[in-house]
């Protein structure tokens, strides 16, 4: 692995992309040092415990595990010695306000069969829709997900040419809701597929129909549960990094990226200055410029793009075992359009929010005491623009408990044994996500994919960026691809 002349790389942040970048740069022969402001690893993909309950604090849906396996294979290791997972079937349980419940099985054929039995849409119509999402995914995968959009050479490839020729087919001319309303008769299916806009903090009534590729990944390619919960993803990557020689400094905030003669050449911390040949920031790109590059020319157009939504999350230890719930549960609002309008136009929380409840103790029983469950209860909210979050937390708690009680015909209030709360302020402080926007920029316009910050600085040599706030976008698979694109740009 070692080169005769060993070059050095400094990485800021141990989010998923930062951890993956460290492994990839080490395999390129660099001496790699990673700096993390927090005492824990993982960024948003971290873990906390309270009164015998363990909680994954951030991402909870896991797809495309092959991108993690790839890091171990690249390092000459067997991924199964470090990291294991199981395929989910069903993936989701959906609870609608009309009293119906739908389960989402794995596989296009099984999904279409199940939905045709319980909705007004035919199996053929559902399969036609899923075939279309597959086609869009295949057209955009190499163009948008696996290569930089900001290097001219990438436009002279067969994949890019094919994407340009078929640009009209990928759904940029209409919104997700328009496409889904045209595809399905049953409003529950429309709502179910509109929901995927929230995977990158956007509104299905504004975001382009191109984002309808997301369910293809989850339904056709599969969703998985990592053994030990989502935190095991970050943990196994840290273990691998240490084994191959990456150095990590925790509780070490970076104060500044040192730039001389338009070239990134080091990192400034309270513990001193460190010289590097290459610097990669896994910090939210907005805050990378605002906090770490005080003298740099800022890409104003890119950084001024509208930010994504955020979330209020209640981590509840529940003294009860709900057999009717699974790992992933969605309690839908009755008026989805009004909910998104409230979040993105009125910049507040909806009075009847859609609630996502993740319960890892369904698969890892030790995450909760016997007969109990660890609930990650999440609602979409606007990013932080000065709202009274303490009041909104109280409002959200009451609305969520009321909705869950009504739908499950119970009262969970006396069952809540412990509670932790995240809101946009906490999310920003803990993860450096600007304004608490979990997903960086929103995708609420057809050009959003092109407006994400590139994986490199156009003004400063040897400075690179990775993570959910830059190309290709948020989610664990995209952060892993971000690391691959970023490190692939470095010779």
Task: Tell me how far CA of residue 413 lies from CA of 85, 230, 358, 404, in angstroms.
Answer: 33, 27, 18, 10
Question: From CA 185, how far away is CA 225, in angstroms rounded?
Answer: 32
Q: What is the pLDDT of residue 76?
A: 98
Torsion of CA 402, 407, 410, 414, to 10 degrees: -40
Tell me what the mean pLDDT of segment 272-301 comes to.
95
- Confidence at residue 155, expressed as pLDDT on a 0 to 100 scale: 46
Q: How confident is the model at residue 2 (pLDDT cuts 50, 70, 90)?
A: very low
Find out whether 194 and 81 touch, Cβ atoms under 8 Å: no
184-241 pLDDT per residue, tens: 999 999 999 999 999 999 999 999 998 999 999 999 999 999 999 999 999 999 999 9
Taking the C-alpha atoms of residue 137 and residue 391, their distance in angstroms, rounded to an integer, is 41
**For 29-43, what is the mean pLDDT?**
98
Mean pLDDT score, 319-330: 98
In this prediction, residue 172 carries a pLDDT of: 72
Q: Which residue has the higher pLDDT, 359 or 146?
A: 359
The torsion angles phi and psi of 10, rounded to 5 degrees, stand at -105, 130
pLDDT (mean) for 263-283: 97
Question: What's the confidence (pLDDT) of residue 447?
Answer: 74
Closest CA to 239 of 44, 482, 75, 7: 75
For residue 1, what pLDDT is reported?
Answer: 46
Strand ordering across the sheet containing 31-35: 247-249, 31-35, 8-12, 278-281, 463-465
Kindly report, residue by residue over 122-166, the tens digit of the pLDDT.
999 999 999 999 998 988 877 676 565 555 455 445 455 555 555
Q: Residue range 472-488: average pLDDT?
A: 95
Q: What is the DSSP letter of 171?
A: S
Q: What is the mean pLDDT of the chain?
A: 93
The stretch 48-66 carries a mean pLDDT of 97
Residue 491 CB neighbour total at 10 angstroms: 6
pTM here is 0.94
Rg (C-alpha) for the chain, rounded Å, is 22
Percent of the chain with pLDDT over 90: 86
**pLDDT at residue number 141:** 74
Report the C-alpha dihedral over residues 109, 114, 116, 118, rounded to 10 degrees. -170
pLDDT score, position 418: 98
pLDDT higher than 90, residue 260: yes
* pLDDT more than 70, % of the chain: 93
């Amino acid at each position: 692995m070692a080169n005769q002349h060993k070059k050095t790389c400094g990485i800021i942040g141990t989010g998923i992309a930062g951890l993956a970048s460290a492994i990839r740069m080490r395999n390129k022969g660099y001496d790699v040092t990673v700096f993390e402001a927090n005492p824990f690893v993982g960024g948003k993909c971290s873990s906390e415990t309270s009164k015998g309950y363990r909680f994954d604090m951030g991402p909870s849906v896991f797809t495309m595990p092959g991108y993690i396996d790839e890091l171990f294979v690249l390092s000459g290791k067997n991924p199964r010695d470090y990291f294991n997972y199981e395929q989910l079937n069903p993936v989701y349980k959906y609870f609608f306000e009309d009293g119906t419940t739908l389960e989402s099985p794995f596989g296009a054929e099984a999904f279409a069969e199940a939905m045709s039995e319980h909705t007004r849409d035919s199996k053929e119509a559902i399969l036609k829709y899923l075939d279309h999402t597959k086609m869009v995914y295949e057209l955009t995968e190499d163009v948008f997900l696996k290569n930089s959009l900001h290097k001219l050479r990438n436009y002279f490839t067969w994949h890019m040419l094919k994407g340009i020729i078929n640009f009209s087919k990928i759904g940029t001319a209409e919104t997700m809701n328009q496409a889904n309303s045209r595809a399905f008769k049953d409003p529950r299916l429309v709502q179910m597929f509109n929901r995927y806009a929230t995977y990158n903090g956007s509104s299905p009534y504004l975001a382009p129909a191109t984002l309808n590729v997301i369910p293809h990944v989850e339904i056709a390619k599969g969703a998985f549960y990592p053994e030990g919960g989502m935190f095991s993803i970050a943990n196994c990557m840290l273990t691998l990094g240490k084994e191959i020689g990456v150095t990590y400094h925790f509780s070490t905030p970076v104060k500044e990226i040192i730039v001389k003669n338009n070239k990134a050449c080091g990192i400034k911390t309270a513990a001193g200055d460190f010289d590097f040949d290459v610097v990669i920031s896994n910090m939210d790109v907005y805050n990378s410029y605002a906090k770490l590059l005080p003298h740099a020319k800022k890409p104003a157009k890119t950084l001024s793009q509208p930010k994504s939504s955020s979330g209020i999350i209640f981590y509840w230890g529940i003294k009860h075992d709900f057999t009717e719930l699974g790992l992933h549960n969605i309690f839908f609002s009755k008026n989805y359009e009004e909910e998104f309008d409230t979040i993105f136009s009125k910049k507040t929380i909806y009075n009847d929010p859609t609630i996502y409840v993740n319960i890892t103790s369904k698969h890892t029983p030790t995450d909760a005491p016997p007969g109990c469950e660890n609930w990650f209860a999440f609602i979409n909210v606007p990013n932080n623009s000065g709202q009274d979050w303490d009041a909104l937390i109280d409002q959200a708690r009451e609305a969520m408990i009321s909705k869950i009680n009504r739908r499950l015909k119970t009262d969970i209030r006396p069952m809540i044994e412990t509670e932790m709360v995240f809101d946009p302020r906490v999310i920003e402080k803990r993860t450096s996500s600007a304004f608490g926007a979990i997903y960086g920029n929103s995708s609420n316009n057809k050009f959003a994919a092109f407006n994400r910050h590139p994986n490199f600085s156009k003004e400063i040599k040897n400075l690179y960026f990775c993570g959910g706030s830059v190309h290709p976008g948020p989610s664990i698979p995209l952060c892993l691809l971000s690391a691959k694109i970023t490190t692939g740009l470095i010779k």
